[in-house]
Chain A
Amino acid sequence: MAYVAVKGGERAIDAAHAWRAAARRGDPAIPALTAAQIAEQFGRAVDRVMAEGSLYDRELAALAILQAEGDLIEAAFLLRAYRSTLPRFAYAEPVDTGEMLLWRRISATFKDLPGGQLLGPTTDYTHRLLDFSLLAPDRRPQPLPAAAPAATSPPVPRVADLLAAEALIEPDPATGASPADLTATPLAFPASRDLRQQALARGDEGFLLALGYSTQRGYGHTHPFVGELRTGEVAVSIIPPELGFAIEIGSVTLTECQMVNQFAGSKTEPPQFTRGYGLCFGRADRRAIAMALVDRSMRAAELGEEIKAPAQDVEFVLSHADNIEATGFVEHLKLPHHVDFQSELETLRRMRAAAAAPGHAETREDAA
């Protein structure tokens, strides 16, 4: 009963925190990591923490990763808790991913297309061989090949827009209405697609991955093709009320996946390609593709499809996608529950005593 010692709980907590701080730092003979090193060299971890922490700030995400010993869910939690103390002074104007300064843009549906295929900084065709040269200290960076950071100049059209020109794909369902805000209003069902997108954008990557995967294995199949996957910088602007016109306040790195889904039509919809969409912070192919799969699955009701798989059940997906909520409730089982357990013990003892007594079918509630 150490963790509910009759006295000394405070001392135990302080001692635990001190020990944990030492464990986080590790061997003091090894130089300490800096948040700047994490921001620069653990970019994918920073991207994930920014997405699940719902806060675009590479420095703070790096700090959270450092403080959390690299536990990315814990880091996202640190970022979320900080985020909830920040004032909300404006909503950005919708970003235009068509105007994205591209690092990467690929389409799986066309061999070539306007704007071309651009691999960008991807691991897609690396061979997963451990690179032992990274163990050596003082490595000098490899020079980039001459044509490297390809900031393409003219805007590159989005594949979905190209298909839309031929009316083969459903129209872009964007209504122009102000989107709801998941963080300012409690989630209720049925949840509109804007809310679903917000929940997926901050949802647990592993959960999205598993759900998206499940749709590929027959649990709510969506016949997906990656129409386009693009990563790059987009400008963010706001309209300050005192100015009345948009000003750019910075840029964010985003990954966008436009999924094109074959659709045979239903009672309510003609045969056409339908859309699944994923948009998230950072370089994050896996998250964006999984999002697009799950987004399309959750449109089953809207498109008149039978709902029979978990990924199609909006309430199921949205209620369990958030890893801050999930890890809290799963891990809270380690908190003291001895009052409840005691009541279970007494109930079980009474039930067993009653069952063992002769004529136990007549047992009474107040046997104890």
Chain B
Amino acid sequence: MIGYNFAYLDEHTKRMIRRAILKAVAIPGHQVPFAGREMPLPYGWGTGGIQVTASVIGQDDVLKVIDQGADDTTNAVSIRRFFALTAGVRTTTSTEAASLIQTRHRIPETPLRAGQIIVFQVPMPEPLYRIEPSRAAARRRHALADYGAMHVKLYEDITRFGRVAVAYDHPVMVNHRYLMSPSPIPAFDNPKLHLSPALQLFGAGREKRIYALPPFTDVRSLDFEDHPFHPGRAPHACALCGATASYLDEILVDDRGSRRFVCSDTDYCETRRSGLLPSGAG
């Protein structure tokens, strides 16, 4: 695009962000502050993910962008266009074909492979923020691995509701050391973080934090021995492809309470329907 550098950000900014990414990779799950820039998309739309993607993308990359698991949601369309315009890279909807995937709120159903990078858009990188709103105080807790309050919160859920009442953004313990927000992915996706062969990067633009899970990092969802972590999904099969192990969107089809359940991962669903079952199909 005339007047702008490859992938929008200038090279000095990219270098600053790459340094933060390298530090984040070296300390899995630790939030690294970075001097986030104002982007031409609003905070909350994925500016952190966009800056991370812009800093790691190369001319030979093939980019996939999803929001809520789908390639055709408006914000995914908009971000994919942004990179097509500013970087001129090839884009795809295929999880298999992508070298770089930017996502909001989902991890694709098709297992990621070594060499792929997935970039998460993160609204609230601080997993303790509901318990400790001061980021300065929360940082101290991370430094001391003082996560008792989070366990107490989950315990209180169990005593009051009989279960952990966290349905998404369920906190995870990374490499037995740092408590981390997996971003607002449904708890269903949490197990995919564990020992993933792909590099997983997390960008929070407004809060100006980057963190990372290098390939094959140990990632455990917080739970108790007698109340093990439960990755929930709607107990139905996809109305389009029949999948029984994918995460489902619930779609209201009339005003009399009728609803349909379909795969939230549009690429996975379409691939199954075309008869080319992706690996790990369920």
List chain A positions with a Cβ less than 8 A from chain B.
1, 3-7, 9-10, 12-13, 77, 80-81, 83-85, 87, 183-190, 315, 319, 324-325, 327-332, 335-340, 342-347, 350-351, 354-355, 360-361, 363-366, 368
B39 within 8 A of A: yes
> Are A183 and B35 touching (Cβ within 8 A)?
yes
B37 within 8 A of A: yes
> Are A83 and B135 touching (Cβ within 8 A)?
no
CA–CA, A342 and B77, complex, Å: 22
Q: Mark B229-272, 1 if CB is under 8 A from A, else 0.
A: 01011110000000000011111000000000000101000000
Q: When the two chains form the complex, which single residue of A4, A339, A351 contacts B161, counting CB atoms closer than 8 Å? A: A351
- Write 25 A-B pairs (CB below 8 A) sorted by A numbering: A4-B72, A9-B76, A81-B38, A81-B40, A84-B37, A85-B8, A185-B35, A186-B35, A188-B136, A319-B135, A324-B43, A327-B43, A328-B47, A329-B43, A332-B43, A337-B184, A339-B185, A339-B186, A339-B247, A342-B250, A343-B167, A343-B168, A344-B168, A351-B165, A365-B228
Known: A85-B10, A339-B247, A351-B161. A5 touches B72 (CB 8 A): yes
> Are B38 and A77 touching (Cβ within 8 A)?
yes
CA–CA, A339 and B184, complex, Å: 9
B106 within 8 A of A: yes
B70 within 8 A of A: yes
A contact residues around B165 at 8 Å (CB): 347, 351
B33 within 8 A of A: yes
A contact residues around B42 at 8 Å (CB): 77, 324, 327-328, 331-332
Look across to chain B and name the residue whose beta carbon is closest to the beta carbon of A362.
Answer: B162
Question: A179 CB to closest chain B CB, in angstroms?
Answer: 15
**Interface footprint category on B:** 35 or more
Q: When the two chains form the complex, which single residue of A10, A346, A363 contacts B162, counting CB atoms closer than 8 Å? A: A363
A contact residues around B8 at 8 Å (CB): 85
Q: Mark B128-168, 1 if CB is under 8 A from A, else 0.
A: 00000011100000000000000000000000011111011
Interface of A is mostly: helix
B contact residues around A83 at 8 Å (CB): 38
Question: A63 CB to closest chain B CB, in angstroms?
Answer: 15
A contact residues around B106 at 8 Å (CB): 339
CA–CA, A83 and B39, complex, Å: 10
A contact residues around B74 at 8 Å (CB): 3-4, 9, 12-13, 336
> Are A315 and B233 touching (Cβ within 8 A)?
no
Q: When the two chains form the complex, which single residue of B78, B163, B249 contacts A363, counting CB atoms closer than 8 Å? A: B163
> Are B162 and A361 touching (Cβ within 8 A)?
yes
A contact residues around B72 at 8 Å (CB): 4-7, 9
A contact residues around B169 at 8 Å (CB): 340
Question: A251 CB to closest chain B CB, in angstroms?
Answer: 26
